[in-house]
Structure 1
Amino acid sequence: NAGSWDGFLRKLSATDGSEIWTRQFGGAGVDAAWSLAVDPSGNAYVGGWVSDQQGCQHFGGQDGFVAAYDSDGKLRWTHQFGRSFGDQVLSIALAGQGVVVGGTGDLDGMLSGNTDAFVRELDGSGTPVWSLEVLATSADEYTNGVWADPKGNVYAVGHDQTIGNNEAFIAKLAP
């Protein structure tokens, strides 16, 4: 453990549940993994947030991240982003040759409240293809789930938090 909390990814044997490999990440601060997707080749994509990931540029507050590992546990790429407030990847799904992620944060520096709900697509190398703030009001908004269909449509679900009131949203984003 490098700090208060660390995130980890562990691959287990399908036959007996024994550990094949474990990858730990995080720095001295609080770090967490919230989401996981695995493609048919066994490559794993994990998303969450880090407070000060060692070896990566830190943008302030909590930074959202996505890390891709091959089936042997070798790190393929990492995409880390953020601004001065808390940015978090809360959901991840396979999309074509890459992944689509959803979460909360400040992608464009134009926060409407404390955090805005977003969706971002990353290609097979971890490079952003597109990003969109799905919901941006004076409340805090979160994209809690994402899914991509074979036609390239992305679906997002989430909620906003206002004092004494929470509202859900469902969105379909066409390519």
Structure 2
Amino acid sequence: MVGRTWDTLYTRRFGNADAFLAKYDTAGTLVWGRQFGTANMDDAWDVSSDAHDNAYVVGRRERGSTNTYDLVLHKFTAGGALAWSRTVGVAGSGNGGGGVAADRGGNVYVPVTSFGRAMLVKYGPDGTPLWSIRDHSSGAPAVADIAVTPDGAVYLAGTNRDGMVITKVSPDGITLWRRSVHFQEFTQQQATAVAVAGDHVYLIGHFLWQPTGERKSLVTKFTADGTQQWQQPYHNLRGTDLAMDASVDAGGNLYLAGYRSGGPHPVSVGFVSKIGSAGGYPLWIRTVESSAGAFTFGMLVSTTAGPVLTPSLIVPFPRLVTEVYEVGYASGPVGDGHTGTAFLRRLNSVTGDTLWTR
């Protein structure tokens, strides 16, 4: 998990605010933590890993005391050593980052929107820029999120003046298709996340519910060739409901992470919901509550090999285990004795029950 801290978490404090990266194992034990930055303001927004467990962190770094920021990319090894850092895009574009995604070979992709123009940059495992593509059109979408498949196909979720947009880009930087997404005649439609597994491609966003002035979550599902399969709003009956991140398991089930406010919730409540590949009502919904408010902003689903199903056979078959993790922050206790601001929680993929919180 990544974030920003004003305190000394792991090593020492570098400046006004530092970025941090923490690695946990599946049991919730901290493996290592790193705090890094400059004498000014530093932040970490997103993290992705490759097949060798290297971590790629994207965030921003303040340029002196000018209140402008550079977008920066850092690579940390599996053991927590900083391998390299790169400034992405043009100077002062640090407010326009749209996440980071690494493929299994260690190539890493970073979208950036600056001065009204969108750009996607690909780096090799050693930090060498391999290519960049720019969209100079007046309707170019501002990218909010990125996902990459194991073979290097890139999906971008963005918003332009007409609404939500999803784009697929090949490993060598060629735009394969782009789809605009609209939900009826509602206004202020905005993309927040994209999640992909095989032929299951999801675009996540929200729209303004004009009768009440509240915002509601929207999911649109595509196939890998860009064919829209279904579209469905997901929201509570009263109040604002914002899905901020998403992930998909091997079976195509979608997991949404976000927060709710208003209506029955006097303070913000974080949530995670599981939705089947065919859509419909969520299979389960779990919330994170705190007396002063809680928010869930990150979601990760990973399918790994668990204990074998047939240990008596000569060639046993491993059981696939779906691990579900959520990341957020709360202004108070959220359970398991956790009273800090940031939290990491593991859930049971079948029931949604909490396994642990850190």
TM range (shorter): 0.7 to 0.9
**Residue-by-residue CA offset, 1:72-120 (whole Å, 9 max, x unaligned):** 1011111113534333433111234311111222xxxxxxxx3422211
Q: Separation in 1 of the partners of 2:100 and 2:24?
A: 20
Contact 1:90–1:144 (Cα < 8 Å) also in 2: yes
Contact 2:89–2:112 (Cα < 8 Å) also in 1: no
Matched, 1:19 2:24: no
CA gap of 1:168–1:124, structure 2 versus 1, over 3 A, is: same
Q: Partner residue of 1:132?
A: 133
Q: Partner residue of 2:159?
A: 159
Matching residue's letter, 1:62: Y
Q: Which has the larger radius of gyration?
A: 2
Query: Which structure is richer in relative contact order (CA contacts within 8 A, separation 6 or more)?
Result: 1
Q: Separation in 1 of the partners of 2:91 and 2:144?
A: 21
Matched, 1:35 2:36: no
4+ runs of 1 displaced by more than 6 Å?
none
Q: Separation in 2 of the partners of 1:94 and 1:39?
A: 6
Shift of 1:68: 0.9
Deviates more, 1:144-153 or 1:70-79: 144-153
Q: Which runs of 5+ in 1 are unaligned?
A: 54-59, 106-113
The 5 Å alignment of 1:32-71 reads 32-52=43-63, 61-71=68-78
CA gap of 1:22–1:131, structure 2 versus 1, over 3 A, is: same
Q: Partner residue of 1:86?
A: 93
Q: Separation in 2 of the partners of 1:129 and 1:91?
A: 18
Q: Partner residue of 1:110?
A: none
Q: Which runs of 5+ in 2 are unaligned?
A: 1-12, 173-358
Shift of 1:158: 1.2
Shift of 1:136: 4.7
Q: Separation in 2 of the partners of 1:4 and 1:167?
A: 37
Q: Partner residue of 1:111?
A: none
Q: Separation in 1 of the partners of 2:60 and 2:101?
A: 16
So what's the TM-score if we normalise by structure 2?
A: 0.39
CA gap of 1:152–1:10, structure 2 versus 1, over 3 A, is: closer
RMSD (Å), alpha carbons: 2.6
SS for the counterpart of 1:90 is: coil
Q: Separation in 2 of the partners of 1:116 and 1:40?
A: 32
Q: Separation in 2 of the partners of 1:26 and 1:166?
A: 38
CA gap of 1:115–1:5, structure 2 versus 1, over 3 A, is: farther
Matching residue's letter, 2:47: L
Contact 2:55–2:78 (Cα < 8 Å) also in 1: yes
So what's the TM-score if we normalise by structure 1?
A: 0.74
Q: Separation in 2 of the partners of 1:152 and 1:44?
A: 17
Q: Separation in 2 of the partners of 1:169 and 1:123?
A: 27
Q: Separation in 2 of the partners of 1:159 and 1:4?
A: 32
2:166 to 152, 170, 175: 170
Contact 2:98–2:146 (Cα < 8 Å) also in 1: no
Q: Separation in 2 of the partners of 1:116 and 1:50?
A: 20
Q: Separation in 1 of the partners of 2:91 and 2:100?
A: 23
Q: Partner residue of 2:121?
A: 120
CA gap of 1:10–1:166, structure 2 versus 1, over 3 A, is: farther
